[in-house]
């Protein structure tokens, strides 16, 4: 059975993007060889990448046009991708499926044998999957920077949840990767 793992970078105050959509300049404060190696590891471990529509559009635009070469570009373009959207009906990005029933689709795919399912970005999607008890683990890279305003990863109106620390790993540049298991409600 595959695990669903949420991965995101955020600022010290909890924003995963700045004031505007795709304002990700703070990623440069976290990026380095250690995070690049972790990114490559995700590519080897993932069987499916999952995005909300907004994250999907940004990822597709970047990874299908960047001149950057390497393992990350290769796996982002090659791995199967699943997009949660009520508006899109299809995609021309390699190995991409669009669904309106993300909870049902993740439930079905999670029950299959295979590699893990990674959710990148996608705060609204993450909240939906957490509410449906489909997320097994959350990995967050906390960049050593504050930006004042932005979009929080966790919504202020979400229900209270508990997490079990799996690992905490500081990187040389001051970024800390926090890895949590999602505790199921009793």
pLDDT tens digit sequence for 89-128: 889 999 999 999 999 999 999 999 999 999 998 888 999 9
Q: Which of 88-92, 155-159, 167-171, 172-176 has the lowest mean pLDDT?
A: 155-159
Ranked by mean pLDDT, which of 7-21, 67-81, 163-177 comes out on top?
Answer: 163-177
- Domain containing 124 equals 4-182
Encode pLDDT of 48-82 as tens digits: 999 999 889 989 988 889 888 888 888 888 999 99
Buried b (16+ CB within 10 A) or exposed e, 104-113: ebbeebbeee
Q: What is the dihedral of CA 181, 183, 121, 91, to 10 degrees?
A: 100
E strand spans, the chain: 4-10, 15-17, 46-52, 81-84, 96-99, 116-120, 137-142, 151-152, 163-170, 176-182
The band of 11, judged by pLDDT with boundaries at 50, 70 and 90, is very high
- What is the pLDDT, as a whole number, of residue 104? 97
- What is the pLDDT, as a whole number, of residue 158? 72
pLDDT at 185 over 70: no
Number of domains in the chain: 1
CATH number at residue 92: 3.40.430.10
pLDDT at 143 over 60: yes
- What is the pLDDT, as a whole number, of residue 159? 81
The pair of structure tokens assigned to 11 is: 């600022």
């Amino acid at each position: 059975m595959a695990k669903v793992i949420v991965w995101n970078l955020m600022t010290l105050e909890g924003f995963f993007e700045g004031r505007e959509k795709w304002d990700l300049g703070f990623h440069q404060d976290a990026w380095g060889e250690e995070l690049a190696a972790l990114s490559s590891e995700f590519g080897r471990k993932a069987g499916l990448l999952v995005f909300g529509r907004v994250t999907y559009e940004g990822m597709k635009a970047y990874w299908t046009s960047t001149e950057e070469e390497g393992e990350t570009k290769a796996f982002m373009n090659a791995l199967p991708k699943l997009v949660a959207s009520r508006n899109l009906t299809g995609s021309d990005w390699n190995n991409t499926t669009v669904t309106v029933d993300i909870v049902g689709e993740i439930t079905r795919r999670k029950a299959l044998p295979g590699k893990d399912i990674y959710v990148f970005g996608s705060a609204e999607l993450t909240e939906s999957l957490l509410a449906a008890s489909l997320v097994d683990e959350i990995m967050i890279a906390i960049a050593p920077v504050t930006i004042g305003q932005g979009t929080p990863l966790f919504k202020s109106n979400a229900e209270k949840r508990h997490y079990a620390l799996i690992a905490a790993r500081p990187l040389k540049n001051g970024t800390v990767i926090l890895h949590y298991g999602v505790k199921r409600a009793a």
